[in-house]
Amino acid sequence: MAFNLLQAGFRLTVHNRHRERTAPLREAGAAVADTPAEAAAAADLLLVCVSDDDAVEAVLLEQPGAAIHGLRPGALVIDCSTISPATSRRLADALASRGIGYLDAPVTGGTEGARAGSLSVLVGGEPAALERARPVLEVIGGRITHFGAVGAGQEAKAVNQVLVAGSYAAVAEALALAERLGLDRPQVVEALKGGAAGSWALEHRSAGMIADHYPLGFKLALHRKDLAIALAAAADADLTLPITAQVAALEEVLISAGEGEQDVSVLARWFRVRG
């Protein structure tokens, strides 16, 4: 995402909690800041993309050198992290007290979409703030959708992660059945992917599942975190999500077996590590 912004001509200052990860961006022309506050000091727009609620709150509000200490009134924070809607609303309120705007803008599309600049961006916040952010979002995303007030983007992302859970688990389970029946699994995939059973997961992740090789698109541990958000949102809405709950349980087994840093498609290994 940062490389694409640089290539689009944006003047960019970056900060990463793991300093070594900024080296390629420095070489590509970005300035590197030692703290979030330093990165935010001259920014009209501050884009954040970190792993979870605690990380966002630390980077924006809590840690020494947090971004809130560098942001100027009138700046706008674009938060591409996947966090709970309640945390997004709390962040928006804290920033608004300093005259700083906030959009929750979680993204979906994996590392492939990030590299290609084709992510789907799911936005919650004021329409005027979205229009201000749009030139940046159009570089990182191929589809930008406004769902409503702050928190609505995170709610849409929870729906996305429910769909990811079901589709990846279904592909893993179907391939396990094909293997047990003695079918040629690549042949099965080729035969089925253009029909009613076709999906992004079948198209892009089945080969890795068959090879038992899982190049990282999105970490299993982060997806399990996201399912917790979705299940909590469903509980608040008095809704039971039985498929999502089952996939979350499968992911717990795999995380306990040390697979949490693998791509979500490592769900295929559940059939090897269970029980």
User: Is the Cβ–Cβ distance between 102 and 152 less than 8 Å?
Assistant: no
SS3 263: strand
Cα–Cα distance measured from residue 158 to residue 221, given in angstroms and rounded to the nearest whole number: 15
Domain boundaries, given as residue ranges, for the chain: 2-149, 155-273
Give, in degrees to the nearest 5, the angle at Cα 225 between 159 and 125: 50
- pLDDT one-digit tens code per residue, 22-60: 999 999 999 999 999 999 998 999 999 999 999 999 999
| pLDDT at site 204 | 94
CATH assignment of 2-149, given 1.20.140.10, 1.10.3720.10, 3.40.50.720, 1.20.272.10? 3.40.50.720
Burial class of 95 by CB neighbour count within 10 A (0 to 12, 13 to 18, 19+): buried
Given a cut of 70, whether residue 275 has pLDDT beyond it is: no
Active site residues per annotation: 157
Per-residue pLDDT, averaged over 191-209, amounts to 96
CA-based nearest residue to 18, from 44, 43, 53, 55: 55
Cα–Cα distance measured from residue 248 to residue 259, given in angstroms and rounded to the nearest whole number: 14
Q: The pTM is what?
A: 0.94
- pLDDT one-digit tens code per residue, 243-267: 999 999 999 999 999 999 999 999 9
Percentage of residues in the chain with pLDDT exceeding 90? 94
| pLDDT at site 243 | 98
Ordered DSSP codes for 180-212: HTT--HHHHHHHHTTSTT--HHHHHHHHHHHHT
| Band of residue 272 on the pLDDT scale cut at 50, 70, 90 | confident
Which CATH code is given to the segment(s) 155-273? 1.10.1040.10
